Amino acid sequence: MHLHILGICGTFMGGLALIARAAGHKVTGCDAGVYPPMSTQLAEQGIELIEGFGAEQLALKPDLYVIGNVVSRGNPLMEAILESGARYVSGPQWLGDNILPGAHVLAVAGTHGKTTTSSMLAWVLEAAGLAPNFLIGGVAQDLRVSARYDPARRPFVIEADEYDTAFFDKRSKFVHYRPRTAILNNLEYDHADIFPDLAAIETQFHHLVRTIPGSGRIVRPAHCAALDRVIARGCWSETVTFGADGAWQASPPDADGAFGVLREGAEIGTVRWTLSGEHNRMNALAALAAAEHAGVPAEQGIEALSRFAGVKRRMELRGTVGGVKVYDDFAHHPTAIATTLEGLRRQVGPARILAVLEPRSNTMKLGTMAARLPEALADADLVFCFGAHSGKHALGWNPAEVLAPLGDRASSYDDLDALVAAVAGAARPGDQVLVMSNGGFGGVHGKLLDALRARA
């Protein structure tokens, strides 16, 4: 079957393209601004990429158009597809109908930590010899790719996003996956462009819970009021808790970051790794509990996590110049920003942290959570906020006003070069520069390192 994928360079749709190709389909695709690294991965697999969404692509005459959620009404190709009466389907539904049936699906949902926890879980299964299939919104250094598929393998780890499926299907993506094992990592208000309030997101999580079989397992934190409400609406599966007062717990880390894993109060092993932060310890507990449901003994999972190298763009050290370290992190929600900074602060002690923030997600651009930023950035010594006043990533709020409670510690810029110059000028040996954005941020990491080298 020939599939033509609209929005192919997004992480999810690009991974889906790789899976479809591995399943034996002919795959082509299009996107606006075809770009690496996804374009490189796709080209290496012999997948033809077309720039833009021109209606002339109807001439390809695929058997099916697979639609990503970046596509909306008014898109020229989509309008032509609708006029022609051609067959089309959303990416999540195609995956749920054609790839996941018969698999042991392990879905990782939650407002924060989906990519990291999915990567941990896939790595634990990989280290146990289960060679899982997976579709993850990032690249774990141990796994080297974001998606893999072998129809002979039953486990399938998937990052289960609550964002809507497509312009014609406003259900959350994850309702199409029908997991047997589900991690519900946490639940907060997000995606203000899609959901009016937290209750609307809780309803989508309730729909996910309704698809899990009685022999399935739900892994969730012991304390989360929103998830309490989700489960109270109906639950037909085993529920396993983690965190404080949970069935799975983590002891406080030692000076090197190692921590003990306790199950039902008894310590069963120690994870020895270089990752920092309470959030990563909680991610690890969730991954261990989910992997156990897939047949991996906890002790074996702990050993595997001790060899886990982390995920790109999750506290990834991009370089060190003149004693200044520059990190890249995906944090873009106030809670994620706060936990990332807390983890770095514990790691570096009194060293100065320079936080460089691009509020790029739809929720942050709308200003829905802007008021929470000063508190979220409390662990930073200096804050540099980038907010364009016009264009695709323009903010609907004034960073200078929002960050005013931080006083002289915070400054805002609408010119990227000016921001780079300010950060490079303020940085001194021993500083930790933490760049936080869910986008490319104009290549700011490389520009900062270049500016630091030029200064040196």
114 assigned binding-site residue: yes
CA distance 345 to 332: 18
- Distance separating alpha carbons of residues 235 and 237, to the nearest angstrom: 6
Q: How many CB atoms are closer than 10 A to CB 378?
A: 16
Task: Tell whether residue 11 is among the known ligand binding residues.
Answer: no
Contact 131, 153 (CB under 8 A): yes
Dihedral sign from CA coordinates of 281, 282, 284, 285: positive
For residues 173 and 400, give the distance between their C-alpha atoms in angstroms, rounded to a whole number: 36
Q: Which of 148, 175, 66, 153 is nearest to 102 (CA)?
A: 153
Give one DSSP letter per residue of 313-361, joined into a string: TSSEEEEEETTEEEEEE---SHHHHHHHHHHHHHHHTTS-EEEEE---S
Residue 113 counted as an annotated binding residue: yes
**156: nearest Cα among 85, 208, 218, 106:** 106
- On the question of a cis peptide bond just before residue 37, with omega within 30 degrees of 0, the verdict is yes
Cα–Cα distance measured from residue 162 to residue 189, given in angstroms and rounded to the nearest whole number? 11
CA distances to 11, 153, 331, 338 from 145, in Å:
11, 17, 21, 28
| Dist. CA 89–CA 92, nearest whole Å | 9
Question: What CA–CA distance (Å, rounded) separates 434 from 454?
Answer: 20
Using alpha carbons only, give the angle 21, 133, 16 rounded to the nearest 5 degrees. Answer: 40
Q: Reduced to 3 states, what is the DSSP secondary structure of residue 422?
A: helix
The partner residues of 166 in beta bridges, in order of sequence, read: 169
**Is 111 part of any known ligand binding site?**
yes
* DSSP secondary structure code for residue 412 in this structure: E
Residues 6+ apart with CB under 8 A from 247: 222, 240, 241, 263, 264, 289
Are the C-beta atoms of 111 and 335 separated by less than 8 Å? yes
The residue behind tokens 């805002």 is 412
Determine whether the annotation assigns residue 112 to a binding site. yes
Q: From 224, 186, 203, 191, select the one nearest 368 (Cα to Cα).
A: 191
In three-state secondary structure terms, 390 is coil
Under 8 Å between Cβ of 139 and 312: yes
> Which amino acid is located at 32 in the chain?
A
Binding-site residue positions for ATP: 110-116
Binding-site residue positions: 110-116
